Amino acid sequence: MATVFDFTLADKKGNEVSLSQYEGKVLLIVNTATGCGFTPQYEALEAMYHRLKDQGLEILDVPCNQFGHQTPGTDEEITEFCQVKFGTDFPQFKKSDVNGANELPLFAWLKSQKGFEGAYEEKLAKIMEDLYNKANPEPRKKDDIQWNFTKFLVNRKGEVVARFEPTADMADVEKAVKAEL
């Protein structure tokens, strides 16, 4: 059976990084954006990272521009924005697709482990769907990432134990992280 440790992600320079280097850690894998209404979650993520990294938490940040083109700029510009505005120092990877023909294999696997269970009010869901469809030629599948700042919680064994949609309360996310630590 596959685990998260069987995958790689490209760093900002395009070098493949094996996630096996995180074996024994609790991971929170997040697709992010720098110009989204959820972007302030970087602050909560960074605060959680500082509180819990010594207990074994790693946050893996994968910027994505598929949702309303809310992640413009180069990988270097994205990193600079996050560090200057939010002081982030958790690992940030290359801007990548998380849905569709060019989705990262890691995200295909994450979604297969924890699919979308619904979490948006109908009006917000319609707005987000329209924005997504305008920017992406392929229709979204049921378990696809719905928007920026979807979070997957992975236990120390490399198994996905939870998926949090962007509207999830960050206190609930941290509570689940602590339970895995």
Q: 28: which strand partners?
A: 59, 153
Residue 36 designated active-site: yes
Span 127-131, average pLDDT: 72
Residue 3 pLDDT more than 70?
yes
82: pLDDT confidence band, cut at 50, 70 and 90? very high
Contacts of 165 (CB under 8 A, 6+ apart): 116, 119, 120, 146, 147, 150
Number of domains in the chain: 1
Q: Indicate the DSSP class of residue 97.
A: B
Best CA proximity match to 55, nearest among 156, 154, 153, 152: 156
Full domain range(s) for residue 98: 4-180
Six token digits for residue 106: 């890691």
Residue 76 pLDDT:
95
CATH of residue 81's domain is: 3.40.30.10
Q: Which residue did the predictor score with more confidence, 131 or 57? A: 57
Residue 35 pLDDT more than 70?
yes
Catalytic residue among 36, 82, 160, 173: 36
Q: Please classify residue 169 by burial: count the beta carbons closer than 10 Å to its beta carbon, then call 0-12 exposed, 13-18 middle and 19+ buried.
A: exposed
Residue 8 pLDDT more than 70?
yes
